[in-house]
Amino acid sequence: MLSTKPDSLIWPGWKSVTTAKQIELKRNGPTRFRLAPEYHSQVRECWRAMEQVWEQGNWALVVDEAYYLQDRLGLGDQMIKLLTQGRSKGISVIVGMQRPSRVTRFALSEPTHVLSGKLGDSRDIKILNECIGGNYAQSLTDLQPYQFAYLDKRSDKTILVNKDSVLNVMQGKEKQNGI
């Protein structure tokens, strides 16, 4: 896995690297790296990391703040390549965003799973409706704090998730009204 979040937001067990060349590919368990280049080298190092993921295959790539990667760093084409063709190489791309209307439509139309909290901006709801279809996006406007709607696009089934149901599942105590 690869992340670009600051140190304080990274879980224990993540190795910080400053260049993509420092990423060691090991297949004996989860390997987690935090790419932490200086701002002036972010474009080059993020591009190298994405290319390495593409060349090696069998990666889970975590792209948080997709808008930043796409527009500020100008890596939208690389992200689209991974989103649209990555499955053929065993690559899973997990994309995080706050404003769906500002990222490439492939980040919304390609995934098999979607998890979202409450949406209030009509542009975000419109884009999700266009890319996902159904009533999923509209249902997001009715969510309460700490509630999320999980959509499995393969079955077109939406499940309401809240903090209590997630905690119960994590503890092995699945509730009827939860997940």
Query: Where do the domains of the chain lie?
Result: 1-110, 112-179
**Structural contact between residues 51 and 78, judged by C-beta atoms closer than 8 angstroms:** yes
- Per cent of the chain over pLDDT 90 is 13
pLDDT of residue 12: 60
CA quadruple 3, 11, 6, 38: dihedral sign: negative
List, for residues 72-105, the tens digit of each pLDDT value.
888 899 999 999 999 999 998 888 888 889 998 8
**pLDDT, position 8:** 47
- Residue 149 pLDDT: 87
- Contact (Cβ atoms closer than 8 angstroms) between residue 94 and residue 61: yes
| 71: pLDDT strictly greater than 80 | yes
For tokens 């280049």, the residue is: 37
Q: Does residue 126 have a pLDDT over 60?
A: yes
pLDDT greater than 80 at residue 62 = yes
Q: What pLDDT sits at residue 88?
A: 95
Q: Which residues of 54-68 are buried (b: 16+ CB within 10 A; e: fewer)?
A: beeeebebbbebbbb
